[in-house]
Structure 1
């Protein structure tokens, strides 16, 4: 009797196993491999530069370099609408030429998996327009409705909110901006979802570029709440230091430097990401930030000067009194140098040497008169390994035009910074390979063999009696 029941049980289990195996085979056909996000910013003014080294057009971009491209920037008007910043965003300069929107979206013809979002705001835009939008429920409703219309008409895949920053009084944010930001994000998310369900179109993505410093995060974001509604959150983990400090400091350190002042102890990628986690944002939704530029400083002599007196030069030259370095001949902004401008400086002047800061895991250039904190292939690779080890979802990089687009200046291949990030992120950790697989043939086999073994033992026991 026992053997008969067990035999029937095995037949039933075998039937179930075959159905599971069939489902597994079907699921394999639709299974998608995990991909870390590589979010690249395209600056619409970069196409207007005069020289070929610094000018970047949409046609210069490898369609497979990024998983997402954020078109920067559009602006928010007090009339509660999104508007283009540049005259040639919507239409080209001549009757037959295409606008920048259309040209960047054309990359999707080669790579249909690419998603192109419109980034709204930016540092110089500050809180203009955003204050008005977030002031009342009626204003939010109107802005969201207008935004969906603008995004769909121009064929974007989503909206990247780059309000720098809600809660920041020094950037013109009004007292209601923190709670207003949350209400705006909720409404955008819900309307994007309903619009997709109604029209059958792919849902518009909702993302944001956010602050890295704790004081700005706590002042401007109800973190746990807003992270529920964003598809992903990009933390701008760069510009920690610059000429505004009046002394040298690295643009984007991975870790803190020992014995740093308390004020600056969290001004690094590791600490900033922990703040977002601690305040309730899921790690998989977070992107870390990379910059394809460095912050450059002019030193006041070999030892540096403070109040007219010489200061002993520190080993790493960090914290030495300094001002903004001369503008690069291509990007033409004091205190900022594109990656290819740094390469050119190193090639043209042997006194500009690259050093490695062991504690912060980043390189810097140091000479008698110049100091630059920047990223290179080595530090980018380490940062991407850090990203994977900590379970973050991806990276954002500012910006495509600041990398060596042709590879002829740095001699490291086209877009060396972006490609270094891509190469490392394409190497998946073991736990993410086939992570969505719903069954295992090995486990099924073991289960059946185990049952057969049990049945054999029962038979042997019965025969021995």
Structure 2
């Protein structure tokens, strides 16, 4: 390298370093730029409930409660397009009223940092439409093109894929679905990026809601590959147990229960998240899942017999024969109770006592006839501490309408479950505090340049 070229090269580096230093000195902000994701689901049917306690409209939502809102749901049609689920999603019931999309997006006027995504699919949607979309490259290309237009036309900030699940034969997934899902995700990511570069608009986000059980993860996802293309991945770490088991079990344990059967040993948040990490997904891209509802059981009267005598009731009462509990008077789904419905049951009947499971770090209600596995402020706080300690990127919560929106039922303030998560996640670990200013910490450092003749040139930055 000639002296003149080396001198020019050093001058370019010096100017670049001086610019970084100037940027640092001119930056007077002390606010941290790191924010844990709080992804909240808005269920479009919740606004149609008849009573005020359970009905949730977009206007009831605190615009600062979440960093992202996923509008649930949109449909994926076999004609390779996204379509609204409800008639009032696009337009209101009257000529002068606004559609539900527009009403949710209006929250961004108060909080411009909020991002609203359309979540497509869901459990009852299963693999319908997704099978056709992911079948071949031509179908994927057409669907992606149609999706960009639908999202932009309706002013969404991104797409949340909630296919439950690729690879799941019991949910109608076809043999090509695992590899087809990967191809779909790649194409969506690349087209979203190119579209943003071409138009100058903010890039559409690409996210997903995914399985928590190992057998579903391994059957449906090429984990390491798809995680390269998603902006973040939300693991639905709830519904581990329910009335379908025929016995009591917690909806969303943080850890395994001691001496738990091998089949269920990984059915907890800690284990599910480790499966995703083990298979190659970066921790910072992963969100853990919370539910603002509990799984409720009617416990059978008999305790069983041992050597001709009644068997003692299990200390934790987990694993007792049970069926779905009676539907709540507001949400009206057997075996499921919203958080505010659980609060009412505890307040109205002293026999519905709340216990704490030390192994699993979660509460449960247990009485002679009723058993409920749920989350409260204490367990949510512990789960958020777990999230931070293990380096995960955020949380998803299903869903806004199932929390106590006004605080008048549980007497814990508005949206107590969501706000418990927000409070704990706003307390950043020491290594993330004031990350914005860390670029200035070594302002008087030196930079060493190794050039072709193995000589060392040192450039002072001050």
Establish whether TM, by shorter chain, passes 0.5.
Answer: yes
Partner-residue secondary structure (3-state), 2:233: strand
Alignment pair present for 1:167 and 2:172: no
**1:109-152 superposed Cα distances (whole Å, 9 cap, x missing partner):** 00000000000000000000000000010000000000000000
Which position in structure 2 is the counterpart of 1:5? none
Tell me the secondary structure at the aligned position of residue 312 of structure 2.
coil
1:71 to partner: Cα distance: 0.2
SS of match in other structure, 1:260: coil
Does the aligned pair in 1 maintain the 2:108–2:115 contact within 8 Å? yes
Taking the TM superposition and a 5 Å limit, the aligned residue runs for 1:148-297 are 148-297=148-297
User: Could you say which residue in structure 2 is the equivalent of 1:77?
Assistant: 77
CA distance in structure 1 between the aligned counterparts of 2:52 and 2:90, rounded to whole angstroms: 23
In structure 2, the partner of 1:460 is: none
1:3 aligned residue: none
SS across alignment from 2:435: coil
For 1:104-119, list aligned pairs within 5 A: 104-119=104-119
**Residue 311 of structure 1: CA displacement?**
4.2
Deviation at 1:310, TM superposition (A): 5.2
- Please give the residue correspondences for 1:312-351 in structure 2 after superposition, counting only pairs within 5 Å: 312-351=312-351
Work out the CA distance in 2 between the residues paired with 1:55 and 1:336.
16
TM-score (norm 2): 0.90
CA distance in structure 1 between the partners assigned to 2:23 and 2:51 by the alignment: 57
Q: Deviations over 1:279-307 (max 9, x none)?
A: 0000000000000000000001273689x
Distance (whole Å) between structure 2 residues aligned to residue 220 and residue 446 of structure 1: 49
Uncovered stretches (5+) of structure 2, i.e. residues with no partner: 1-13, 447-462
Q: Residues of 1 paired with 2:48 and 2:207: CA distance? A: 27
Rate the CA distance shift 1:417–1:31 in 2: closer, same or farther, 3 A.
closer
Deviation sequence 1:415-435 (CA, Å, 0-9, x none): 000000000000000100122
- Residues paired across the two proteins, number: 433
Deviations 1:365-403 (A, max 9, x none): 000000000000000000000000000000000000000
The Cα offsets for residues 172-206 of structure 1, whole Å up to 9 and x where unpaired, read as 00000000000000000000000000000000000
* Aligned 8 A contact 2:69 2:116 in 1: yes
In the other structure, the counterpart of 1:353 is: 353
TM-score, length-scaled by structure 1:
0.90
Cα deviation, residue 19, structure 1: 5.9
Measure, in 2, the Cα distance between the counterparts of 1:270 and 1:263: 15
SS at match of 1:145: helix
Q: Which residue of 2 aligns with 1:455?
A: none
1:68 aligns with 2:107: no
Partner of 1:41: 41
Alignment RMSD (CA, Å): 2.1
**Residues 74 and 84 in structure 1, CA contact (< 8 A), matched pair in contact too:** yes
* Equivalence for 2:103: 103
**Whose helix fraction is larger, Structure 1's or Structure 2's?**
1
